[in-house]
Each structure stands twice: as C-alpha cells, then as structure tokens.
Amino acid sequence: MTYVIEQRIMSGLPNYSLTTVKYVIAHESGNAKNNGPNALENELAFMNRNKANAFTSHWVGDGGKIVQVAPVNKLQYGCGPKGNPLSYAQVELARTADKEQFKKDYAAYIWLLRKLAKDAGIPIVLDGSGNGIKSHRWITNNLGGTTHVDPYAYLASMGITEAQFKRDIQNGLNEEGLTVDQYNELKKEIKTLQGLIAEKANLQSESEVASSHKEAWEWAIKEGIIKGDGKSMNPTGALTRQQMATMLKRYHDKFNK
Ligand SMILES: [Zn+2]
C-alpha cells in the first residue's frame, strides 16, 4: 500500500535550517473535542491560523489521508526549542471517535513515519537510544523544552499499546500486501501449477511399473482384476487386505466359474 501525500504547504512560514537531522517526531492532536468527521480539516485550519506559534510538516486523519502543510528538513514548531532544530519532519495525527476510521489513520501514520525516517536517512526505530523516530513524550523526557507526552495515551485508548506501536514502526503494516489484481493473478498461477503437478503425478504412476511387473500389471488391468482408468493407479502403493480380497474374488469369478 502506498499513500498519496497531498500538498497543501502553508504560506508565510518561517524559513530556518535545522542544526542537524536526527529525528522524525510522532504527535497526535491532543484535542479530545475535535474527533468528528471534520477533525482533520478543523486541525488544518487551526494550524494555519496559529502557524506563527505552532506547526508541523504533516497531518494524518480523515480515514488514512495524508496532508503535507510545511516543508521537511526545515525548522518546524512542534516539539519545543530543543527538539525542533533536530527534527526533519513532524507528523500530527487528528483524532477520531470511530475505531474503524482510526485503523485507516493509524496505518497511514505508521507508513508516513517510516517513509519520512527513510527519507531522512535515520533508523526506523521508535524511542530508541540514538537517532530515529521519537514520540513527543520522548523529547519531553529526554531533551526537555516542552511538556507534551503524546501520542501514547490516544493510541492506547484505541487499543494500540506502546509495544505494538514500536513493533509497527519497526516492521510496518502490511506494506508488502498484494493488490486485488496481483492476488487474482497469483490464484491463476497456482491453478495452472496444480494442473501441471497432477499431470506429472499421472505420468509418474504409469512409468513407475517396473519392467519385470509390466506384463502382469497390464494383464491384471485388461482382465479387470485391477480396475481404474489407467491413470493415477499408483502401481507401487501398498495393498490393503480388503483390496486383496476384492482382487482374489474378481480372479475367482472370472476364471474359476
Ligand atoms: Zn505533540
């Protein structure tokens, strides 16, 4: 799954370089009152009005939509004066009260955080010891200059534990998934292969009759002692007592009556 990053870069942003590229920051809006169907658009409008004080590079919401509102690799005002100059990108997650929508938002959030870390050339690890993806909470606890502790509590309220969030950042979410077309193509290939394997099995069962038994084998089929269509008859398979009894009776009925 690949997402489109909608470009809605805000005008009149401050233009400062980073000191160095160390982090990509994971936020969530923290706005419990804005979790309805227009949550993302409300957040975008609010950020645009307040960009002189606070802004990030990206927003995620509205069922897996990604909007970029500020350039990456430039100073953003998202996680305080200690973290901001080290942060290549900062990603905000708009809230929703709808658990199904959350799943889509979360998948896009994970995808975007991983992509931005790759773009920045930093490890795809959440809240580890070195460079990497950092929660706003990690910046508060390790660098200071800010007091927010998002996004863990909101994720937990939607059933995503810290451990899960870390695993999902590390592994990604089904990024190698198949499209419906690829799936159907694969199904067709498997059917063809199954056909080829069955054909091969038939050829093998015929060629498996050893030359010293071939005359007897063909005689037994011709006389109806062994029955079958001549294919898949498994000449080297084990004979059960009941099959033996049937074959003896066929012999008796044919030749001793
Ligand atoms: Zn934050």
How far apart CA 180 and CA 169 sit, in angstroms, is: 25
134 C-alpha to ligand 1 centroid (Å): 10
Residues 81-122: tens digit of each pLDDT: 999 999 999 999 999 999 999 999 999 999 999 999 999 999
28 C-alpha to ligand 1 centroid (Å): 6
Provide the token pair at 93: 């997650």
1 C-alpha to ligand 1 centroid (Å): 26
pTM of the model: 0.70
How far apart CA 98 and CA 31 sit, in angstroms, is: 15
5-171 classified as CATH 3.40.80.10? yes
Contacts of 235 (CB under 8 A, 6+ apart): 205, 206, 208, 209, 213, 217
DSSP 239: P
54 C-alpha to ligand 1 centroid (Å): 10
Within the chain, all domains assigned CATH 3.40.80.10 are found at: 5-171
> Would you tell me how many other CB atoms lie within 10 Å of the CB of residue 162?
14
Predicted confidence (pLDDT) at residue 202 exceeds the cutoff of 70: no
